[in-house]
Structure 1
């Protein structure tokens, strides 16, 4: 069985791929003097986050966006023993970690400090990145959410950055709740503008943090027409890709319009 590094001598002036060392410039990551400690402002907000109402989500997201995060990289076997089909642990590559959340969503774990990462997995390699880079990595890996500071005990709750939050970080823009997002408001208004059944509408926040759309309707609509209305309005909102990225979930509340 052969290995990629068999016969390779770095002193010969080239890497394992045959690319010369000469002329290469090694640049810093931007975190050359990073101590691995968590951002103080973010740590304070995370400590208060456990108490409902203590911290607004927008405030927390602003702190996350400004902080350095750490994503874990782990070794995975990259060669297979041809005789047994078993991965060779001695020959491995480094790969980012993705998880499956309890609701089935793909998740990227990220940490505020090397201590938090070590408590979760002492063998993972810490890679410091900006919050935007972490979010871009999540999008690239097909992860809908980021789990921040996963605790060591399995099953303990972690802060989940929802899809709209991940998208805002990746785009480098401030996150705001969907019911106060101007782009979302415009998309909803466009979706109901041509509907004679709708006399008015307003936006609010659902209990799960999603968007709650209250429709003020003309009286006398039967179930078939109501279902058609909700399907078409929801479909028009979803057709706006940017609005869809800013909304984690949509629910409707129906009300009789004032005559």
Structure 2
């Protein structure tokens, strides 16, 4: 059998790293990492296609048959891709006359949302990542691991498939739930939050009634303009206050500011609510 030679660029890279053998002196040449006993990583058979569970949940949301909670639940077991960009810090020439990266940095690609918050883009497929950033390298991870990476990067949002037909934003509470591998309940459907808000509002004599509902920023649109009842990045929770008549503009502002201050100091509310809008009625 003919001797199996390493490609020149690989041989040069190995020589620059200390030789054509591993730390035990076993040669790299002729080795194969293929086969059942030699998986490269847990996604070595990955075909780069979207996770079927996530695809189905996103399609159901667009059609009006699913919910935000269903999409986040599908991500709990979904493989996604994060985008990594290599930046050359210093370039040198190897002993073989080839250009070599003497120093390079790998970094996660992050975004800045319209409201100024940091976001981590995540992709359901290799193709969607390549369309968004052709020079980025896809790294396959489970979505909960991507959520952990977002937390470590101090990001407040996960953005699934930016620039694609369906872009879904996972807000901070859902992102934290994914990272902790626990179920997420949208704050506008959380049965414990009306009591929290009502207790805070009860300290204002002018408040007659409190109602919670989904905020105006929950909805999103597909690239084609179809309205979707979830996946948006704007205000997540709407608190409607019915006030007693007779308050002027200054009085209304005082009541609203006092309620917002109390809610911002409530740990449970802060943990479960990403963003808030107040609506005042008479």
| Alignment TM-score, normalising by the size of structure 2 | 0.69
List alignment gaps of at least 5 residues for structure 1: 15-25, 82-87
Indicate which of 210, 228, 246 corresponds to 2:272: 246
Q: Which position in structure 2 is the counterpart of 1:148? A: 160
Q: Pick from 207, 213, 217: which aligns with 1:208? A: 217
Aligned mates of 1:72, 1:123 — CA distance in 2: 9
Aligned twin of 1:180? 189
- Listed one character per residue, the Cα deviations across residues 147-196 of structure 1 (whole Å, up to 9, x for unaligned) are 212347xxx77322233332332232322222222443343133123222
Match of 1:96 in 2: 108
- 1:243, 1:47 → 2: CA distance? 31
SS of equivalent to 2:246: coil
> Which residue of structure 1 aligns with residue 248 of structure 2?
222
RMSD (Å) for aligned C-alpha atoms: 3.1
Q: Deviations over 1:105-140 (max 9, x none)?
A: 322111112232233334322222221111111121
* CA separation of 1:252 and 1:7: change in aligned 2, threshold 3 A: closer
What whole-Å deviation, never above 9, does each CA across 1:207-258 have from its counterpart, x for those lacking one? Answer: 22221112232332333222111111111111124422422322222234xx
Distance, in Å, in 1 between the alignment partners of 2:133 and 2:170 is 20
> SS of 2:280's equivalent?
strand
Partner of residue 106, structure 1: 118
1:37 equivalent in alignment to 2:46:
no
| 2:141 paired residue number | 129
With over 3 angstroms needed to count, the CA separation of the structure-2 counterparts of 1:103 and 1:201, relative to structure 1, is closer
Preserved CA contact (<8 Å) 2:132 2:162: yes
Partner of 1:233: 259
> 1:57 and 1:233, CA in 2 relative to 1: closer, same or farther beyond 3 A?
same
Which residue pairs with 1:195 in the alignment? 204
CA deviations over 1:33-59 (Å, ceiling 9, x no partner): 4333221121123344444x3432112
Matched, 1:171 2:171: no
Q: TM-score, normalised by structure 1?
A: 0.75
Structure-2 change in CA distance of 1:128 and 1:198 (3 Å): same
How far the C-alpha of 1:12 sits from its partner, in A, is 7.8
- Equivalent-residue separation in structure 2 for 1:67 and 1:162 (angstroms): 17
